[in-house]
Amino acid sequence: MAGTETWVLASHNAGKIKELSDILAPFGIALKSAADLDLPEPEETEDSFEGNAGLKARAACESTGLVCLADDSGLAVDALDGAPGIYSARWAGEPRDFGRAMQMVQDELGDAADRTARFVCVIALARPDGSMAHYRGEVVGEIVWPPRGEAGFGYDPIFQPEGETRTFAEMSAAEKRALSHRGRALALMAAAELGA
Indicate which residues carry an active-site annotation. Answer: 72
Are residues 120 and 182 in contact, defined by beta-carbon separation less than 8 angstroms?
A: no
Handedness of CA 14, 163, 187, 83 (dihedral sign): negative
Q: Which helix (H) or strand (E) holds 82?
A: none
3-state secondary structure of 77: strand
CA–CA distance, 55 with 16 (Å, rounded to integer): 18
CA–CA distance, 86 with 41 (Å, rounded to integer): 16
Q: Which helix (H) or strand (E) holds 162?
A: none
Q: Are strands 132-143 and 159-161 parallel, antiparallel or unpaired?
A: antiparallel
Residues 6+ apart with CB under 8 A from 4: 28, 29, 30
